[in-house]
Amino acid sequence: MSDPRPIGVFDSGMGGLTVLRELIRALPDESFIYLGDTARLPYGTKSADTVRRYAQQAAAALVARGVKMVVIACNTASISSAAVAELLAPLPVLGVIAPGAKAALAAAPDGPVAVIATETTVKGGAYRAAIRALGSDIPIVQQACPLFVPLAEEGLVEGPIVEAIVARYLGPVLESMPRPKAILLGCTHYPALKGAIAKVAGPEIALVDSAKTAADAVAATLREKGITNSGGAAALSFLATDAPDRFARAGAIFLGQPIDPGAVELIDLQ
């Protein structure tokens, strides 16, 4: 039977819209509710306990809207996917770290792979653990890039200043031996800076964006659970915890299409 309930997607801000873009492309019959916790971003500099609490609050807000599945479109918050899944059981919950690890191995099966991510994601070693869980012992180097999220959220995604900051963070990665064959963009905000990252990294290094792999994993989960939507018009709505006008303006960069400011509802997760 067809299940017309929407899929809930959340992130600390607008970066998860890169995942939503791939979800819309892969699942055109599905409806989506996207929540950006813009009042409390970035999650990447918060403690693990705080991120877990924020993630559970965001997920609960989506459940209150009647979603059939929750996608944690935030690498930092995906570390708390088990806690969120426990809270929402039996509702399916999917993070982006496992799909990202799978995509990295597909791009560079023999390594080395560099993971660039937020401080919390790097300190927690989430991607290293996910790659090891897939049975791979390839060399992995990690680098925190804390300024990438605010740059992306401000729409500063190209130009000499952005490239200088990218070069500052990627320096240790590119100088590591052996040199990485792939760089995993371990934060959903980072694809907005993909052009600058590619320019600094050079054409010989593959850039891995987990969004498409995550969309494939969502599609597989819907089929497995028997909750796909096979009819009816698909709908798209947005929730933000601060500055809905700014969310609509800057969010269009991540989503790849205009967002009507009037379609962004302001909510409070406290």
pLDDT tens-digit series, residues 19-44: 999 999 999 999 999 999 999 988 88
Per-residue pLDDT tens digits for 47-63 = 989 999 999 999 999 99
**DSSP conformational letter for 180:** P
Asked whether the CA dihedral 222, 225, 230, 232 is positive or negative, the reply is negative
Per-residue pLDDT tens digits for 205-223 = 999 988 888 999 999 999 9
Q: How many CB atoms lie within 10 A of CB 157?
A: 18
| Long-range contacts of residues 247-251, Cβ cutoff 8 Å, at least 24 apart | 247/14, 247/36, 247/38, 249/155, 250/14, 250/153, 250/154, 250/155, 251/14, 251/17, 251/36
Q: What is the pLDDT of residue 270?
A: 77
**DSSP conformational letter for 179:** P
Residue among 24, 74, 114, 149 flagged as catalytic: 74
Q: Is 131 helix (H, G, I), strand (E, B) or coil?
A: helix
Q: What is the pTM of this model?
A: 0.89
Q: What is the pLDDT of residue 225?
A: 95
Per-domain residue ranges for the chain?
A: 7-95+212-266, 97-210
Q: How far apart are CA 180 and CA 46, in angstroms?
A: 28
Closest among 163, 57, 77 to 117, alpha carbons compared:
77
DSSP per position, 76-128: HHHTTHHHHHHHHTTS-EE-SHHHHHHHHHHH-TT--EEEEE-HHHHHHTHHH
What mean pLDDT is predicted for residues 1-10? Answer: 94
Question: Is position 74 annotated as part of the catalytic site?
Answer: yes
- CATH code of domain 7-95+212-266: 3.40.50.1860
- CATH architecture type of domain 97-210: 3-Layer(aba) Sandwich (3.40)
Residue among 20, 187, 259, 264 flagged as catalytic: 187
Question: Is position 187 annotated as part of the catalytic site?
Answer: yes
Q: Is 36 helix (H, G, I), strand (E, B) or coil?
A: strand
Per-residue pLDDT tens digits for 93-105 = 999 999 999 999 9
Q: What is the pLDDT of residue 176?
A: 85
Q: Residue 71 in contact with residue 19, Cβ under 8 Å?
A: yes
**Equal CATH topology for 7-95+212-266 and 97-210:** yes
Instruction: Compute the mean pLDDT over every residue in the chain, rounded to the nearest whole number.
Output: 93
Asked whether the CA dihedral 19, 246, 262, 57 is positive or negative, the reply is positive
